[in-house]
Amino acid sequence: MSTMLVPRGIRKSSNVITIAAAATAENLFLRSANMSVGRSVIVRKIFGYTNVGNVLIQIGTGLAGAWAALFPPILVPNTFDIQLEENEIPEIEVFEDITCQADILGCMIMIEVEEVGSS
């Protein structure tokens, strides 16, 4: 019996974000706006790359003092790229924009999400 995930929404990718300040949350994916019913977001893939040293990246929600992690920190080894697939990421559905931060500036992060909900 197959355990494939059945898509419920629309797959979208974020832009590639280069972390500009260490330990400072930055917007990664903004949910579709102006909807009559709010859309939720499920992170399906996480991509990261660094050539500035080993980096711990974190994906979460909120900015500044309101930031909260969605997943544990993810190690991106120096000069390696990482790609976490949906079977490696807990399925967490959130009704907020997705943000990210890293402990060293210069790391690149991108995600693919499934945006769920109707307009």
| pLDDT tens digits for range 35-62 | 556 789 999 999 999 999 999 999 999 9
Question: What's the pLDDT at 37?
Answer: 65
What pLDDT sits at residue 117? 77
pTM of the model: 0.87
Architecture of domain 11-116: Sandwich (2.60)
pLDDT for 6: 64
What parts of the chain have a pLDDT lower than 70? 1-7, 33-37, 118-119
pLDDT confidence of residue 58: 96
Q: Taking the domains of the chain in order of start, what are their residue ranges?
A: 11-116
Give phi and psi for 65, each to the nearest 5: -70, -15
Eight-class DSSP state of 19:
-
11 torsion bin: left (phi>0), alpha (psi -120 to 50), beta (else): beta
